């Protein structure tokens, strides 16, 4: 992505909305806030009650009947819960790794567990069928489409009344839903982290310590994306202040920067953990050829092999650590 992309993304986060054109008129898609999340819950509970009152069974009630008939079991529910925890732990482990080859290996385990997890979820859903929760999810999400669309930048007047929305063609509703989904993908945590690390944002980093001063409004009025921006700003500002010898080529890469800082906190840089001197010279244990190519590029392309050659064919531990710090 180019610089203009991240500047535009930052501008939308500052505004708290995304402007778009719909049937020839400009409309404004509000970014989610904590208050909005409460309304999401209220809408969900409203429609769940409607479904239950109409005689639609809840998921829990259906599962109880399935277990009585031995079509589903507590052990299968437990497997779903355990797999979810395993996947989350594996992802955390992956985030703490530095070498690409190690990340690829653990990703294979993650993919395998995810496939098993999805298979069990699909099996349960096939048995359960339609529930009151399904109805509530569908109806509340549809109502929230209207809720987030406004006719001005002030976000003080919904673009569509309930009657307008009820009569709106299905294709128009799907178009707005698609815009909301695209916004969610665009404002992912990785992109927000990259915005915070871009050169144009450096002037703002020190101001992320106080969210109210940064955006000029109370914390509870901030969008989720604004909150993430100040949180990541504080994290990366702290890393730049207190972590020494950060390689230049990772300062705009959030994943590598966080891994490097984590390595430092655990007693040395992330690279230090893989570096050790042996009789033949210096080896990066566990690293593939591709990993070595990546590790040899710091500060404009320092070559590990060239540095070894300069040192007469062997690097000491101290020399290796110095190179890793560069």
* Residue 153 to residue 157: CA distance in whole angstroms: 10
* Residue 192 to residue 214: CA distance in whole angstroms: 16
Q: Do 315 and 322 form a contact (C-beta atoms < 8 A)?
A: no
* Residue 301 to residue 307: CA distance in whole angstroms: 11
Q: Do 158 and 147 form a contact (C-beta atoms < 8 A)?
A: yes
Asked if residue 186 belongs to a domain, the reply is no
Token reading at 51 = 């479904």
Q: Do 27 and 151 form a contact (C-beta atoms < 8 A)?
A: yes
Q: Which residue stretches of the chain have pLDDT < 70?
A: 1, 98, 266-326
Asked if residue 289 belongs to a domain, the reply is yes
- CA nearest to 58, candidates 124, 165, 136: 136
Count: domains in the chain: 2
Half-sphere exposure of 80 (CA within 13 A, CB side): 14
121 three-state secondary structure: helix
CA 135 vs CA 55, 102, 130: distances in Å? 12, 43, 8
Q: Do 86 and 111 form a contact (C-beta atoms < 8 A)?
A: no
Asked if residue 2 belongs to a domain, the reply is no
Domain of 121 in residue numbering reads as 57-129
Query: Of 129, 153, 172, which closes a domain?
Result: 129
* Residue 151 to residue 156: CA distance in whole angstroms: 8
Q: Tell me, what's the pLDDT at 26?
A: 95
Asked if residue 296 belongs to a domain, the reply is yes
Q: What is the DSSP letter of 316?
A: -
Asked if residue 177 belongs to a domain, the reply is no
Q: What is the DSSP letter of 286?
A: T
Query: Of 100, 129, 158, which closes a domain?
Result: 129
Q: Tell me, what's the pLDDT at 214?
A: 82
Asked if residue 239 belongs to a domain, the reply is no
Q: Do 222 and 33 form a contact (C-beta atoms < 8 A)?
A: yes
Q: Tell me, what's the pLDDT at 96?
A: 72
- CA nearest to 102, candidates 296, 246, 301, 259: 259
Asked if residue 62 belongs to a domain, the reply is yes
Token reading at 124 = 């349960």
149 three-state secondary structure: strand
Strand pairing partners for 25?
22
CA 57 to chain centre: 34
Query: Of 94, 129, 164, which closes a domain?
Result: 129
164 three-state secondary structure: helix
What is the chain's alpha carbon radius of gyration, rounded to the nearest angstrom? 26
In this prediction the pTM is 0.68
Rounded to 5°, angle at Cα 196 from 193 and 198? 110
Asked if residue 200 belongs to a domain, the reply is no
């Amino acid at each position: 992505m180019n610089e203009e992309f991240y500047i535009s993304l930052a501008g939308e986060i500052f505004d708290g909305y995304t402007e778009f054109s719909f049937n020839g008129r400009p409309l404004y898609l509000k970014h989610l806030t904590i208050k909005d999340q409460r309304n999401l819950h209220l809408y969900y509970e409203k429609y769940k009650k409607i479904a239950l009152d109409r005689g639609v069974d809840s998921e829990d009630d259906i599962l109880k009947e399935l277990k009585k008939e031995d079509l589903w079991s507590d052990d299968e529910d437990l497997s779903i819960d355990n797999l979810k925890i395993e996947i989350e732990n594996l992802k955390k482990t992956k985030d703490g790794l530095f070498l690409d080859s190690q990340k690829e290996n653990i990703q294979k385990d993650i993919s395998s567990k995810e496939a098993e997890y999805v298979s069990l979820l699909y099996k349960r859903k096939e048995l359960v069928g339609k529930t009151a929760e399904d109805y509530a999810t569908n109806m509340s999400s549809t109502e929230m489409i209207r809720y987030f669309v406004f006719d001005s930048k002030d976000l003080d007047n919904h673009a569509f009344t309930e009657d307008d929305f009820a009569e709106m063609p299905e294709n128009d509703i799907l178009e707005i839903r698609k815009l909301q989904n695209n916004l969610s993908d665009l404002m992912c945590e990785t992109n927000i982290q990259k915005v915070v690390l871009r050169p144009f944002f450096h002037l703002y980093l020190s101001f992320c310590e106080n969210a109210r001063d940064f955006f000029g409004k109370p914390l509870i009025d901030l969008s989720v994306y604004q909150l993430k921006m100040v949180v990541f700003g504080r994290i990366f500002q702290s890393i730049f202040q207190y972590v020494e010898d950060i390689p230049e080529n990772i300062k705009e890469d959030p994943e590598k920067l966080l891994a490097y800082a984590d390595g430092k906190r655990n007693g040395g840089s992330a690279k230090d953990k893989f570096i050790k001197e042996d009789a033949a010279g210096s080896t990066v244990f566990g690293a593939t050829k591709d990993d070595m190519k990546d590790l040899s590029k710091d500060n404009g392309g320092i070559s590990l092999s060239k540095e070894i050659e300069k040192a007469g064919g062997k690097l000491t531990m101290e020399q290796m650590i110095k190179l890793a710090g560069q």
